[in-house]
Chains A and B, each alone.
Chain A
């Protein structure tokens, strides 16, 4: 049999991408025309009298109107939280606190489908991800921390703890419900009360969570959920009667917050940006590594702070890995996030799409070689083809700056020391990935990479028991696990 030249061989995946539509039903979720602020156990009209629209980024259609909290609204929420803290929550026996949190967890499970649908409609992420990851992981987070409420004396050797008071929590748009769970669950378990602000693009699941909190009969004011944009967030950060700021978002805003609270005694945890290195050695299980790279950068359209956006491949397997990545890219289904087969949904907003496209242009201008999936893009909505860049240098902006989209920058490396140096050559330090079949090499890498979460022969795994958070400019403090308690207690 004649041997064809390798470069003429190409697998075809068009039919793998063209499956009959399998849409999740919108009608299984109820979205109101308008949402008010959840303060002191009730939904209240904003004193600002203003509402803003939230849209479905997949269709650009309006979903609902959301209240905009002004300083007076924020104050009202903080007063409610303070009152609930003093009068109810800090006095409540911890085991009772636990039961409220368990109740919330259960109710999220019961309404999981509704949450998943709304999360996808509001944020653009594939329904498969909302259904299989965001919502169950959020419920599990409440379950995990519920159990800590009456066991805190075991968490800190030789010390007691006390709650901090009122926690102001500001969360991003990439995992709206899950981030709310990450923030609220440990805060409540430790005895704090909460004022939480979801991102303005993705308020709906947090407001649905407010409905559950109401239904769960949580004492009024223990959790307040107020909506709005940056100004609302600033009002929370600057409120004098808040004891703790927990923020997840960009490093840029994180720095502003750190400065804003400099003259106060507010404790802070910041979970900020990242530019994670994902490193493939030549002895790695390559097909699984490729899958890990794909999950690492294309999960949630790359809107993940710990996304593996820098790929380092050992030169001896570079061509093979890139080929495998390209093939894999071709099988990814991009389109309607509500379709159960969609792998890559909509970019969360027009603004974010512009940023991503700007970086794609920069990458090309910098001389990197671009490869995009040949999939088609829906006419309406904000979409970006999964994109990889080869021929990238460490000095390229696409290899240095967080893009927060489905864009991967691939570099080759030769030796272990070289790749460790390059991987750490960044102001960020949130996560990293290592792929090799050699155990001792894994431990060398995992101990030398300066990042808070290291995935070895896997990537983008999350669990309520597993602490998450960054080194360096990726922030400080941990969320999840035993170490996540630290963020919400004074150790005495």
Chain B
């Protein structure tokens, strides 16, 4: 594994200037996305969604409905892609897997005592293995933010490496919970740790903490991915999660992705939106593009 061979000194992770990164991120929002570019972008965004339900009150019924929605986003609009994945708690993996059948839609499971991560490592490993054994294609773990903020970077690194091992074939998404890290410097450092420890994805947030994903925080992580790629030749995927509910914002993210990592990342193997209400907003936009009239939420199913 290259990751374990080349562990850098994480105290040397680049510093981020807040004003500069936020300025850069806002520049992407100035791009005016029109016509075929917009259509292509909306379709792509739809195809990148990890349709998510992560609630205490989740039931099998709810998850089944969501899985149906994932496969039939809006049948009134033929030729739509599906979402990329359904994201659920480990207890719902089996249900989701069965409901999605051979649709090609992945099942992602949060794990490792999501969302706080405050559990012993062996429990996190069991949590992970349980999800994978039930058929999860992807595992969304959380890092131990407390340990990270204590400066216990080795602990965080080892934990990620251990979960990666427990994942087996499943792809590992490492949630940094950027809202708790507060500064971009820390987000960058956590990104570096996660990638070198074996993450397949780095992901901003659980969705349980505000702020969740923002463009600048995502940009910091994309730039970390770019630097890692140039250093190791290994591509890492990115998943901003939480707070992205409008198609316009999703398009801004795609512009940012395209101008930071380029075409190689412009598909759902390498980029995901963790979102629940984004899909319907995109669908409304697509219908507006198609019909020329503004849409009402009443015509789009809520699952």
Assess whether B15 is in contact with A16, with CB atoms less than 8 Å apart: no
Assess whether A288 is in contact with B17, with CB atoms less than 8 Å apart: yes
Whether a CB of chain B sits under 8 angstroms from the CB of A443 is no
Whether a CB of chain B sits under 8 angstroms from the CB of A156 is no
One digit per residue, 1 when the CB lies within 8 angstroms of any chain A CB and 0 when it does not, for chain B 216-256 equals 00000001001001111110000000000000000000010
| Given contacts A20-B38, A22-B32, A292 and B20 within 8 Å (CB-CB) | yes
Whether a CB of chain B sits under 8 angstroms from the CB of A287 is yes
Nearest Cβ on chain B to A289's Cβ, whole angstroms: 8
Assess whether A287 is in contact with B36, with CB atoms less than 8 Å apart: no
- Taking CB atoms, residues of chain B closer than 8 Å to A13 are 258-259, 262-263
- Taking CB atoms, residues of chain A closer than 8 Å to B21 are 285, 287-288
- Taking CB atoms, residues of chain B closer than 8 Å to A341 are 31-32
Whether a CB of chain A sits under 8 angstroms from the CB of B16 is yes
| Given contacts A11-B226, A16-B262, A288-B24, A458 and B33 within 8 Å (CB-CB) | no
Nearest Cβ on chain B to A285's Cβ, whole angstroms: 4
Q: 8 Å CB contacts to A: which residues of B13-32?
A: 14-17, 19-21, 23-24, 30-32
Assess whether B37 is in contact with A20, with CB atoms less than 8 Å apart: yes
Assess whether B30 is in contact with A128, with CB atoms less than 8 Å apart: yes
- Taking CB atoms, residues of chain A closer than 8 Å to B35 are 20-21
Contact of B33 among A1, A3, A20, A457 (CB under 8 A): A20
One digit per residue, 1 when the CB lies within 8 angstroms of any chain B CB and 0 when it does not, for chain A 259-273 equals 000000000000000
Q: Interface size bucket, B side?
A: 35 or more
- Provide the bound-state CA to CA distance between A437 and B18, in Å: 12
Contact of A9 among B15, B24, B38, B229 (CB under 8 A): B229
Whether a CB of chain A sits under 8 angstroms from the CB of B261 is yes
Assess whether A2 is in contact with B233, with CB atoms less than 8 Å apart: yes
- Taking CB atoms, residues of chain A closer than 8 Å to B36 are 20
Whether a CB of chain B sits under 8 angstroms from the CB of A492 is no
Whether a CB of chain A sits under 8 angstroms from the CB of B266 is yes
- Taking CB atoms, residues of chain B closer than 8 Å to A327 are 226
- Taking CB atoms, residues of chain A closer than 8 Å to B34 are 19-22
One digit per residue, 1 when the CB lies within 8 angstroms of any chain B CB and 0 when it does not, for chain A 271-290 equals 00000000000011111100
- Taking CB atoms, residues of chain B closer than 8 Å to A285 are 14-17, 20-21
Nearest Cβ on chain A to B240's Cβ, whole angstroms: 18
Assess whether B31 is in contact with A19, with CB atoms less than 8 Å apart: yes
| Given contacts A3-B233, A21-B34, A288-B24, A15 and B258 within 8 Å (CB-CB) | yes
- Provide the bound-state CA to CA distance between A169 and B229, in Å: 53
Assess whether B230 is in contact with A6, with CB atoms less than 8 Å apart: yes
- Provide the bound-state CA to CA distance between A16 and B50, in Å: 24
Assess whether B14 is in contact with A11, with CB atoms less than 8 Å apart: no
- Provide the bound-state CA to CA distance between A291 and B32, in Å: 20
- Provide the bound-state CA to CA distance between A4 and B231, in Å: 9
* 6 A-B residue pairings within 8 Å (CB atoms): A13-B262, A14-B263, A16-B263, A19-B32, A20-B38, A331-B259
**17 extra A-B contacts, CB within 8 A, seeds A20-B36, A285-B14, A291-B23:** A3-B233, A3-B234, A13-B262, A15-B258, A19-B34, A19-B37, A20-B33, A20-B35, A22-B33, A285-B16, A285-B17, A287-B21, A288-B21, A288-B24, A323-B230, A331-B259, A458-B19
Which A residues contact B (CB, under 8 angstroms)? 1-6, 9, 11-16, 19-22, 128, 132, 283-288, 291-292, 323, 327, 331, 340-341, 437, 457-458
Q: Give me the 10 closest cross-chain CB pairs, A-B, nearest first.
A: A288-B20, A4-B233, A22-B32, A11-B262, A340-B32, A20-B37, A16-B258, A20-B35, A285-B17, A331-B259
